[in-house]
Structure 1
Amino acid sequence: MKFLLPVILLWAFQAQAQLHTETVIYKQDTTTLEGYLAYDQSIQGTRPGILVVHEWNGLGDYVKMRADSLARLGYVAFCADIYGKGVRPTTQDEMGKQAGFYRSNRPLMRARAKAGLDQLLKNKLVDPKKIAVIGYCFGGGVALELARSGANIAGAVSFHGNLDTPNPDDAKNIKCRVLVLHGGNDPYVTRDNVNALWDEMTKAGVDWQMVVYSGAVHGFT
């Protein structure tokens, strides 16, 4: 009963939510981007905001579902579009090319993430002092890069994301807490990657934590 009560209360809270969602067109430099906004209209006043970054297939149903869930919990959630309006790869080859392009161009990756953050901050419902970024797979790496850029955020969370960076010294710019959630059997993130992140964060004095799930593979969420 002690376990069921909070579950029932959470279900009841979410059931009463008046979810508002919309597609948001915005820009980074001259590139048109297409984000997704979700929040609960029944909540009054400002609230924390969360920037959600998509996987390697681009902004799709999965991160929209995550944004909706966060909105029901009382956050303003905005899904950033890293690839650009209409760029939604459908094959693994196309996904790999898109993700690889941005992973090899970290300044552009950071700029696209920053554009999403700026768009989230434009929303008057958002408390600018309570902002976090989360990302899944490719998006987890983007979340870490946004933190390394020195963005004024309170937290960055990577779910089974890429951990490597060509700019490890940029960890000194991190102003937020960092949480890395990693699958112990992820074939795409090596032990060397984990050790390098450990050294990077420790050297920079970042307030960070890593949780390794034994037996979990890539994309465990």
Structure 2
Amino acid sequence: MKSLCLALFAAAMLTQVQAALVTKTISYRQGDTELRGYLAYDDSVTSDKKAPGVLVFPEWWGMSSFVKGRAGALAKLGYVAFAADMYGNGQFTSDHNKAKELASAVAGKPVMGERVQAGYDQLIKTGLVDDSKVATIGFCFGGACSQILAYSGAPLKGVVSFHGALIPASADAAKKNQAKFLILQGELDPLVPQAARTAFIKSMDEGKFDYQFLTYSGAVHAFMNPDADKARDDGLDGVGYDPEVATRAWAQMQLFFKEIFGQPS
């Protein structure tokens, strides 16, 4: 019996050693614009053994190490994660004035919807994703991107928005939407004022969405991102990292995914 236990333990350890995180920069297109997303998955996932997919939309900084790290963390949880490029050429900036310029060129324009759709399409094209089990998460600007994709009628199981800009759902969006929503906001976030929250919640109620709206006491904007404090020191008001809230919010996302997907296979 002892020998059998040792053999089983050794086999389990070998499986753990063999499992590895695969990451790739993926080039794809939206119209004439070349986009460069970031794909992460466990190498146990194959076209014959697919996993749920999670599309990740970044903050207005673009393709940062933070958003790539979140994709990697999702892959370690058993998901195929793809961080979508919203600006083209994998652009990233740490300057908040430049970030505002980049986001303003996309936000609220037709190209925003086209690029969120391009990200979704590229995730599915990997051939690694069970396309009946797809969700999206987004941070700040990316939270709005996630909402836009769901409102378009994309076949999503869920949307998770971390300190995201909130876009009230139209009646048409309510008819098209297929996703459950998890909205995670900081209580003291000055970039998403109470009026915006009230309008969003009203639209969710009127559209009969299945949604959760959680508010974290004491948290401001960008509470998930460890680089938020540097951005604040560089002159961006209203932001700040909160490690305790970040841990709680990420755990809440995991519970939500277990609800909509079941346990990763």
TM-score by length of 1: 0.89
Over residues 118-176 of structure 1, what are the superposed CA-to-partner deviations in whole Å (9 max), with x where a residue is unaligned?
000012211000000000111011101111111111111100000035x6332332111
1:127 corresponds in structure 2 to: 130
2:54 corresponds in structure 1 to: 50
Check conservation: 1:49, 1:130, Cα contact below 8 A: yes
2:161 corresponds in structure 1 to: 158
For residues 102-117 of structure 1, what are the structure 2 equivalents within 5 Å? 102-105=106-109, 107-117=110-120
2:145 corresponds in structure 1 to: 142
Over residues 95-117 of structure 1, what are the superposed CA-to-partner deviations in whole Å (9 max), with x where a residue is unaligned?
01111222231x21111011000
1:181 corresponds in structure 2 to: 184
**1:151 is matched by which residue type in structure 2?**
A
Q: Which runs of 5+ in 1 are unaligned?
A: 1-11
1:19 corresponds in structure 2 to: 21
1:16 Cα deviation (Å)? Answer: 6.4
1:216 Cα deviation (Å)? Answer: 0.6
Which secondary structure state, in structure 1, belongs to the residue aligned with residue 23 of structure 2?
A: strand
Q: Which runs of 5+ in 2 are unaligned?
A: 1-12, 225-265
1:91 Cα deviation (Å)? Answer: 1.3
1:90 Cα deviation (Å)? Answer: 3.5
1:66 corresponds in structure 2 to: 70
Which secondary structure state, in structure 1, belongs to the residue aligned with residue 106 of structure 2?
A: helix
1:14 Cα deviation (Å)? Answer: 8.0
Check conservation: 2:25, 2:37, Cα contact below 8 A: yes
- Structure having the higher strand fraction is 1
| Percent sequence identity over aligned pairs | 45
Which secondary structure state, in structure 2, belongs to the residue aligned with residue 163 of structure 1?
A: coil
1:39 corresponds in structure 2 to: 41
2:32 corresponds in structure 1 to: 30
Over residues 177-198 of structure 1, what are the superposed CA-to-partner deviations in whole Å (9 max), with x where a residue is unaligned?
0110000100100111111111
Which secondary structure state, in structure 2, belongs to the residue aligned with residue 103 of structure 1?
A: coil
Structure 1 outlier segments of 4+, above 3 Å: 12-17
- Aligned in 2, Cα 1:197/1:14: closer, same or farther, shift over 3 Å? farther
Which secondary structure state, in structure 1, belongs to the residue aligned with residue 115 of structure 2?
A: helix
Check conservation: 2:62, 2:90, Cα contact below 8 A: no
1:84 corresponds in structure 2 to: 88
TM-score by length of 2: 0.74
**1:42 is matched by which residue type in structure 2?**
S
Larger radius of gyration: 2
